[in-house]
Amino acid sequence: MMILASQSPRRRELLTRAGLEFRVEVRDTDEVHDASMAPQELCAVNAAAKAAAVAAEFPGELVIGADTLVFIDNLPLGKPADEDEAVEMLLRLQGRTHCVCTAVAVFMPDGERRDFAEISHVTFRPLDVAAIRHYMSLVNVFDKAGAYAIQEYGELIIERFEGDLDNVIGLPVTRLLQVLA
C-alpha cells in the first residue's frame, strides 16, 4: 500500500477516485517560499521534502509527496494567512490568467525517486470586492493555494482553464498513474 505524504483532503479524494489504496502519513517540513525560483523548481523542492520526511521513516514503501502553488507575475501564492490576504490574492487574480503548478515526488520501494511537475493555466473573471466576499462566504479559502478552489463554486470566479483539472485541484492523477505504471 502506498503512502500519501499530504494532509490535503483534495489529494485524498483524487487518489480514492482513481481507485488507489493508500494511507496518509505526514511529517512537519519547512516549506521553501523563494520567489526567485521557477514554479516547477519551487514546487519540486517542497514536494520532495514532504515525501523524504515520510520515506525516511518508512523505507521500502512507496511514498508520494506533492506541492501546489498558484503563480501570478512570477510570484507564488500559497495559502492565505487571513481574510485580508485572501481578498488581496483574489483581487490580484481577477480578470487575469495565472498558472497553477503541482510538483509530485514519488519515492519508490526500491529507493528510486521519480519527480514531475504539471502546469495548468486558469483565467479568472473580472471580480469586485463584493463578488470576492460572496465567493469567500461559500468556500473555505484558507487551506487553498491562491485562496480558491476550482471545484468549489469555481463558476463564480473562473472564466476558463487550460490543462489538467486535477492538477489545479492539487494532484495530476493521470500523470501520477503513468509514473506508477
- CA distances in angstroms from 117 to 40, 90, 114, listed in the order given: 6, 24, 11
Please enumerate in sequence order all residues whose Cβ is within 8 A of that of 142, keeping only pairs 6 or more positions apart, or say none: 79, 80, 82, 86
Reply yes or no on whether 67 is catalytic: yes
The C-alpha atoms of residue 45 and residue 173 are separated, in whole angstroms, by 19
For 19-23, the CB contacts below 8 A with 24+ separation are 22/64
**Using an 8 Å Cβ cutoff, are 85 and 103 in contact?**
no
Determine the 3-state secondary structure of 131 from DSSP.
helix
Residue of 28, 30, 34, 67 marked active site: 67
The C-alpha atoms of residue 107 and residue 71 are separated, in whole angstroms, by 26
Residues recognised as catalytic: 67
